[in-house]
Chains A and B, each alone.
Chain A
């Protein structure tokens, strides 16, 4: 079944650690996005990509980085995690720019 998969679902790490949040989709979509969301709060776009080797920063400034080497894969990396990075990170994809977004189940990150 076509879906968006995120791993890990939950991660607790110490300050200064490097982490990568994985996102893969079998939707066949070119457009992929990362949103940062505190529980029940606003969705903040932090990165997006419209295709392989194309990445852009979103509306909310983030210290994370992304890459898009394969169409189906859009990982997010934090080189040195801090407690301020504690949040939920949602990956999404769409068939067209501005079209319906399909979200993954999210990765809940806690930095101690």
Chain B
């Protein structure tokens, strides 16, 4: 089955700096890579996703890049703000193939003033 590794487990940045979270996956057939944000005491919510037919996707201050050859994908947050502080989870799946989403272990991001 799929295995997703996520690094780092904790990340502390100064407000305004960029943050990068990296994930690797094992199943070369995986084709869907979402990122979820979970604020303290809240439910995880999808913030951005990418499919295997594109290499990069941006949405305002967040972007995700995908390297299919190396089987890794990354979340980039620019101009970080205190409200970006949360736990971020990457995930991978093979849609249409009956494979459930497999989550990474999460990254605790803290944006310091």
Q: What is A's interface to B at a CB cutoff of 8 Å?
A: 33, 40-43, 45, 48, 90, 94, 96-101, 103-106
Contact = CB atoms under 8 A, between A and B. Distances in A.
A97 B99 contact: yes
A48 B100 contact: yes
Contacts of A42: 103, 105-106
B45 A103 contact: yes
Interface string B15-50: 000000000000000001010101010111110010
A90 B44 contact: yes
| Interface size range on B against A | 20 to 34
Q: Is the interface of A mostly helix, strand, loop or mixed?
A: loop
Interface of B: 32, 34, 36, 38, 40, 42-46, 49, 87, 89, 93-101, 103, 105-106, 108
Contact of B100 (A41, A90, A98, A103): A98
Contacts of A103: 43-45
A35 to B, nearest CB: 9
A105 B45 CA distance: 10
A98 B44 contact: no
B44 A99 contact: no
Given A42-B106, A43-B89, A97 B43 contact: no
A105 B46 contact: no
Nearest to B30: A98
Contacts of A106: 43
Contacts of B36: 101
